[in-house]
A and B are shown apart, each in its own frame.
Chain A
């Protein structure tokens, strides 16, 4: 078990860590310097990175934390008696505490390290789903879910005969609480929804949704992939039963992700994968498993990446999620106003309840053509279905172009986007 009071992952003296020490005014330009990749030209234009919802860039201190760990402390965890293994294990386990504080969980052992949000949802579907669901039981999803929060449940449906109930969204892209309420039946066992839509940016009323779930004796899984980088998240305040997110969208490395899983539920869940590190003892006759969270972490995990995730959380926490949220909301409001002024452009998802993401289409120009023309001007956006094909079908479109903001984006980035979009208009006039 990890020591809950363990010190945060920290490999540098505090004053050297951040170029962002001035806490009063938010200085995106200053934070930008923490991200080496941003300092380059693409097709002779300064890079304007607006694809943060797909994956965020990494600050120097995350890379440094990983490098220092490998230079000084790296070994496999939970198995060696030697000094390096002890150190690596301590640093790795300490990240549970970092994550617990970050999302305000009650216990370190409710934090499971996985490889991606996709991995986390598959874990819940395979372990909790196969144990507690029977044919005819129902799971509530919404139209705007990412494929990662659809396909694992469909696989479960096809193998054990559960039913998926899909809550529609409004034309503005909102999920209305009345519509969620109407989806419950006596067979509802789980509600699994995004906290923030990756395709539209909609913030869902997850606190109310979770409350409804509990009133109906169902559990709630929240896909927080697009939330944790844009706003403070309090899993205890929300009373979420499962909360998942990927490290790579939170300025951390790929291969690192978190499943938060309430202790009482976790205790009743059988292992997901079998192998080393998750067992108490093995004989060919019988194997006993470790207690959670280790029961769910079979094999050698992404040790260095988890260290990096810990560093990324330290980084955003030092800036402050409230401040990041305020900054990104300002950017979103500014971008919304500027994009609205482009007459051939249509914003997809017009609800005011949005965070960090703006999706749009343009008359006469397919999103892929938009993406290409923006790229030639150094502006990186995503064009496509955003792994949300049911949502695109619902909206009656094949794809959108999407700009998504990170803590380092500025109004100048929005201006560059707008100028680049004028070129699209010009070409497709």
Chain B
């Protein structure tokens, strides 16, 4: 592989957006008053993150925050997810999850009704689909989100 091809290949995974969120995660804080929270853990690589979600009475996400440690992909995915969720209804969150899941596992799902901005961000995360060992890094935050919304305290991806 030439150096240029290698760069293209690696840049597919480590896009600037990912590197930026990995280095400077957004909403990286404890949210004590959240009404949903869960701990996500990938025992294989030790990545762990605590996710805090506040959903109001109209089923709209008011606040999302997280703290944790892990690789660039898992941190970026969590950070980008928190950015995307705020202001969405739980139904919209569900649609986003389905699209994210499909995109990372290589299924072709049409992003029906999703905001263009969200689609772009998920496409950036979906670079992992060519790196089978890294798919769980990208999906950890999302599985933790599901667990939090179902009021399960812990989720472990293995």
Contact = CB atoms under 8 A, between A and B. Distances in A.
A376 interface: yes
Interface string B28-53: 00000000000000001111000000
Contacts of B100: none
B9 interface: yes
A368 B45 contact: yes
Contacts of B73: 368-369
B9 A368 contact: no
A373 B13 CA distance: 10
Contact of B44 (A44, A384, A428): A384
Interface string A255-298: 00000000000000000000000000000000000000000000
B88 interface: no
Given A43-B1, A377-B6, A384 B45 contact: yes
Given A366-B70, A398-B46, A399-B45, A372 B131 contact: yes
Nearest to A43: B1
Chain B, interface size category, equals 20 to 34
A423 interface: yes
A398 B42 CA distance: 12
Looking at B5, B10, B23, B69, the one whose CB has the most chain A CB atoms below 10 A away is: B10
Nearest to B1: A44
A224 B13 CA distance: 39
A427 interface: yes
Contacts of A367: 71
Contact of B72 (A44, A45, A369): A369
B10 A368 contact: no
Contacts of A399: 45-46
Interface string B67-99: 001111100000000000000000000000000
A320 interface: no
Contacts of A392: 46
Contacts of B133: 372
Interface string A132-153: 0000000000000000000000
Chain A, interface size category, equals 20 to 34
B134 to A, nearest CB: 6
B142 interface: no
Nearest to B130: A376
B119 interface: no
B141 interface: no
A373 B45 contact: no
Contact of B134 (A365, A372, A428): A372
Interface in B124-146: 131, 133-134, 137
14 contacts: A44-B1, A366-B70, A366-B72, A367-B71, A369-B73, A372-B131, A372-B134, A376-B1, A376-B6, A376-B9, A377-B1, A384-B45, A398-B46, A423-B10
Given A44-B5, A372-B134, A398-B47, 20 more contacts: A44-B1, A364-B23, A366-B70, A366-B71, A366-B72, A368-B45, A368-B47, A368-B71, A368-B73, A369-B14, A369-B72, A372-B131, A376-B1, A376-B6, A384-B45, A384-B46, A385-B46, A398-B46, A398-B70, A399-B46
Interface of A: 43-45, 364-369, 372-373, 376-377, 383-385, 389, 392, 398-399, 423, 427-428
What are the nearest 10 A-B pairs in CB distance? A44-B1, A366-B71, A368-B71, A398-B46, A369-B72, A369-B71, A427-B14, A385-B46, A368-B45, A399-B46
